[in-house]
Amino acid sequence: MADAFSCEVQVRWGDSDRLGHVNNTKYAEYMQEARIQFLESKLAVHGGRPGYVVVRKMTIEFLKPVTDSSGPLQIDVVTTHVGTSSFTVRHIIRDNTGAECAFGDALMVGFDKVTEKSRSLAESERSVLEAALVSVNEPQDFVS
């Protein structure tokens, strides 16, 4: 299995609702922050174009509430599928005790900003993404 890319994301003041739980929309922001770090660290250093991909679809499964005291969060990122013009990224969000709070997938598509249409992934992009590839059969795979 490939090693996951891992980063820390802080729970910010204002992320929580009246119950003291982080609002569900913030999970997507946390995953985006981790995904951008993943793409920049993996693609940019190998000549890839991390800014030239767009999100086509995103899913999140909530396992445990994140609260103000849950941070910093650890977010692990791997790829679960690499195609000709798209790839899927899996994010696993853990609190500061290591407990899994949520996981989600983002289907990313190569994007040509001139034509504003999808584009094929470059071979250099595909090879970097394939190096981070893990096998999943069920939605919760790669979640401990």
| Residue ranges of domains in the chain, CATH in brackets | 5-131 (3.10.129.10)
Q: Are 106 and 57 in contact (CB under 8 A)?
A: yes
Q: Which residue has the higher pLDDT, 137 or 26?
A: 26
Q: Are 88 and 81 in contact (CB under 8 A)?
A: yes
Among the listed ranges 1-10, 48-57, 132-141, which one has the minimum average pLDDT value? 132-141
Label the pairing between strands 100-112 and 117-118: antiparallel
pLDDT at 1: 47
pLDDT at 43: 77
pLDDT at 131: 87
pLDDT at 138: 54
Among 38, 89, 27, which Cα is nearest to 62's?
27
With cut-offs at 50, 70 and 90, classify the pLDDT of residue 45.
confident
Q: Which amino acid is at 25?
A: T
Residue 82 bridge partners (DSSP) = 87
Q: Which residues of 32-49 are buried (b: 16+ CB within 10 A; e: fewer)?
A: ebbbebbbeebbeeeebb
Among 5, 124, 129, which Cα is nearest to 79's?
129
Q: Which tens digit of pLDDT belongs to each residue from 89-122?
A: 999 999 999 999 999 999 999 999 889 999 999 8
pLDDT at residue 132 tops 90:
no
pTM for the whole thing?
A: 0.87
- Cβ neighbourhood burial of 78 (10 Å; 0-12, 13-18, 19+): buried
Structure tokens at 141: 């795979």
